[in-house]
Structure 1
Amino acid sequence: MIVCDEKLGVCSVVEVDLKDELELEQPTLFYIGDPMCSWCYGMSDILKDTQEYCAKSGIKFQTIVAGLRASGQVLWDKRFKSFLKHEWTNISNKTGKKFSFEILDLLNFDYDTTPACKAVLIAKILSSNNSKIVLEFFSKIQEKFYANSQDTKKLEFYKEICEDLSLDFEEFSKLFKDKSLDKKLQNEFIFGRNLSSSFPSLILVNKKQKVNISIGYSSLEDVISRINKNLKSL
C-alpha cells in the first residue's frame, strides 16, 4: 500500500523490518527514492545541490532506488488519475517544477516504476557508481516522464539520456533486457526500504550510526543544517 502526504511532501510504502546493521567508515548520505515518485521529482534540484555539497565536504552520496510502485500495483482508473492530478498540481505549486498531464488522458497505462529503477541501477554499473552521474540520470528520467509524459518502460526512452551522460547505450540496452539483474534490483529495493519506507528520504550513516536527515520534502538550507549538526554528533 502506498500513502502520500502532501503536507509532509512524502510518499510511503510498506516498511521492511530487517536487522542487518550498516557499518561505514566514511560518512555516507543515502538518498532513497524512485524516479517515478512525484515528491522526489519536486525535490530534484535540492538533491543535486545536496550531492554537490557532499562532494565538497567529504561525504559520500549514494542514490538508492526503492521501488515505489514496483510491478505496477495500481489500477489505472478515474480515481487514481484524479489522485495523480491533484498530487502533481500541489507539488508544482509548492516547488515550481513543471508537470505535463497528457499521460493522464491515456485510457490504459501501466504505472510500473520497476523499469525506471532498473535503468538507474544500470547507470550505476556503467558509471562505476559515479554519484553525480547516477543522480543526473535519475533526474533526467524524472524530467522526461513528468514534464514530457514519456513512457519509462520503453528502451528508447533512455537513449538520449545515455548519450547526454556519455553512457554506452548499446551496453545499457543489453543490461536493460537482462533478467539476471532483477534479483540485484530487488535486493536494492529491500536495502532502500530498510533505510526508509518513505520517499524522498535522506539518511546519514557513519560507522554503525544512522540519522534521518530528511523524510519527505525539505529545503536545501534545512538539509545542510541537519547534515552539519548530525555529523558532529556521529
Structure 2
Amino acid sequence: MMNCDDKLGVCSVSSDESANIKLKLDKKATLYYIGDPMCSWCYGMGDILKNVEKYCKINGIKFQILVAGLRAGGGDVWNDNFKSFLKNEWNKISELTKKEFSFSIFNLDFFNYDTRPACKAVYIVKKMTNNDSLVSLDFFSKIQSKFYAKSEDPKELGFYEEICKETKIDFKEFSELFNDEKTGDELEKEFMFSRTFSPSMPSLVLINDEKKTNISIGYSKYEDVISRLEKVL
C-alpha cells in the first residue's frame, strides 16, 4: 500500500517486516538515496539531489542510489479519481520546484502506472557501472524527464535506447539484462533492502561508523540537507 503526503513532499510504501533483512552498517560515510524514477516528489528534488551527489564526491562521502518500487506492478485504476490525485500532486510540485510536467498522459484511456520497469532500468545501470553514482543518477534523471516532461512510457524497452546512448551505456547489454528474469529477482531484493533504510521517497539516509541517521525524509532544500549532514559528520 502507498501513501503520499504533499505537505511533507513524500510518498511511502509499506515496509515488509517479514523480509527479515539486516542492515549492513558501513564504517565509511555513505549517503543512501532511496527513490523511484516515477515518484513525482523524487522528480521535484532531482536537481537538488545532483548537487548533493557533487557535495558528497567533493567531501569523500559515498553516494549510493537504492530503488524502492513506489508502485511496483502498478494496478491503480486509471480513473478520474487517480488522475485527479496525480494532477494535484504534479501541479503542487511544479509550483514549488518549477519542474516541467506534461499532462498529455491524462488523455490516455488506459495507463498502468507500474514503476517496476523504471526501477529495474536504474538497477541495471548501477550493476553495469559498478554503482557509479554520477552515471546512475544521470540515468535516473533522464528517465524522469522523458516520463514527466514528455509523457513517454518507461515500461517499454525502447524508451531507454536514447538514454543509454546519452549516458554511454551499452544498449545491447542493457536490453539483455532488462529481459532477464534473474534481474527481476535481484530487483525485488533491492526493493526489500531499500525499505529497511526507509519506506519513504525521496529519502536520504546516512550510514557512518556503523550508525544510521535520517538526513531527509521527503522533499528537502539543498541547504537543509547539507546542514543536517554537516551536523552529524
Query: Smaller-chain TM-score range?
Result: over 0.9
Deviation at 1:19, TM superposition (A): 5.9
Match of 1:72 in 2: 74
Secondary structure at the aligned position of 2:27 is classed as strand
Report the alpha carbon displacement of residue 16 of structure 1 after superposing the two structures with TM.
Answer: 2.9
Other-structure match for 1:16 = 16
**Partner amino acid, structure 2, of 1:220:** Y
Q: Deviations over 1:165-209 (max 9, x none)?
A: 111001111111111111110010001111101100000001321
Aligned residues: 231
Structure 2 CA distance for aligned equivalents of residues 66 and 19 of structure 1: 14
Partner residue of 1:187?
189
Alpha-carbon distance between aligned partners in 1 of 2:192 and 2:21, rounded to the nearest angstrom:
12
Equivalent runs, 1:26-175 vs 2, <5 Å: 26-175=28-177
Which of 118-127 and 141-150 deviates more? 118-127
Give the gaps of 5 or more residues in structure 1: none
Deviation at 1:108, TM superposition (A): 0.5
CA distance in 2, matches of 1:104, 1:59: 41
CA–CA distance in structure 1, aligned partners of residues 81 and 126 of structure 2: 36
Q: Is the 8 A contact 1:14 1:197 kept in 2?
A: yes
Q: TM-score, normalised by structure 2?
A: 0.97
Contact 2:68 2:195 (C-alpha < 8 Å) held by counterparts: yes
Shift of 1:15: 2.2
Residue deviations 1:53-76 (CA, integer Å, cap 9, x gap)? 000000000000000000113111
Query: TM-score, normalising length from structure 1?
Result: 0.97
Give the conservation status (yes or no) of the 8 Å contact 1:22–1:207. no
Deviations along 1:121-151, one digit per CA (max 9) or x if unpaired, are: 1111221210100000000000000000000
Q: What is the root-mean-square deviation in Å for CA atoms of aligned residues?
A: 0.9
Q: Residue 35 of structure 1: CA displacement? A: 0.3
Instruction: Kindly indicate whether the alpha-carbon contact (under 8 Å) linking 1:16 and 1:197 is maintained by their aligned counterparts in 2.
Output: no
What secondary structure does 1:118 align onto?
Answer: helix
Closer/same/farther in 2, CA of residues 19 and 160 from structure 1, 3 Å limit: closer
Residue by residue, what CA displacement relative to the aligned partner does 1:98-130 show, whole Å, maximum 9, x if unpaired?
000001110001100000000001111221210
CA distance in 2, matches of 1:208, 1:199: 23
Structure 1: distance between partners of 2:98 and 2:197: 28
Runs (5+) with no aligned partner, structure 2? none
